[in-house]
Amino acid sequence: MTELRGAVAVVTGAAVGIGRAIARRLAVDGAAVVLADVAADGVRETSRLVAADGGRAAVVVADLRTDAGVAAAIDAATERFGRLDVLVNNAGGGGHLPPHFPDATPAEWGALLDLNLRGPMLATQLAIAAMRDGGVVVNVASTAGLGHRAYQSPEYGAAKAGLIRFTSSLTGLPGRAGVRLACVVPDWVATGRAQAELAAMTPAERSRAPEPIPLGTVTDAVVRLIRDDTLDGRILVLRPGEPARLLPTDG
């Protein structure tokens, strides 16, 4: 079992929502946390909240769509805390913002791919090199990357599908590099943005909307994937009103 107490973790996209909740949970469980995000005010507020919880944090203000930004986040772990044990690739999003493919320009949909897929892949590659004593990478995907139905943002769905398959493709990495990957795949999560979307709905729309997944359910899932060393390359799906479900490994 991988222990969080005394570990050093990097959480990307830590300024708000899921990333902030994950960072706070890892800190409460005893990890020192590097908080990486492009939103300076938000990530500094996360650091303040971690400190208020009794935890330790370092802040990296960086654009995680860029190679330099990703490298800064990973390098900060060893520079500030001397090691790296856990990486949570949470930075992402943008699938709700138009324009979408094919109306979006290549630069627009390319930037979304950089944030949601290329950035996590690069962060993982750099983390593998930095995790000298082994470690764990947890990717945060989305149910937008599952299934066959039409989706408003094809580029976002493709990026999240790619992140899921990237994770499972690296099954067996512990034997080669001592680093294990896993992926959590949540549906709609009860972030501030989700609550605002619910509030903007009509009563009829609200009655048809699924209940957002509590942030605590997501953080519990991330901690489970970090701690359970048998979950190599596994994909954990979180849907409203259903228990967490590991995708089968034979499909």
DSSP letter at 177? H
Could you give the strand order of the β-sheet that contains 86-89, starting from the edge strand earlier in sequence? Answer: 56-61, 32-37, 8-12, 86-89, 135-140, 179-186, 235-238, 245-246
Tokens of 194: 């989700």
Chain Cα centroid distance, residue 190 = 15
Tokens found for residue 80: 């500030």
Rounded Cα–Cα distance for residues 215 and 190 (Å): 6
Name the amino acid, one letter, at 103.
D
State yes or no: is 151 an active-site residue. no
Peptide bond before residue 99 is cis, with ω within 30 degrees of 0: yes
Three-state DSSP at 249 gives coil
**Catalytic annotation, pick one of 156, 158, 183, 213:** 156
Burial status of residue 99 (CB atoms within 10 A of its CB: 0-12, 13-18, 19 or more): exposed
Do 128 and 78 touch, CB atoms closer than 8 A?
Answer: no
Active-site residues, by number, are 156
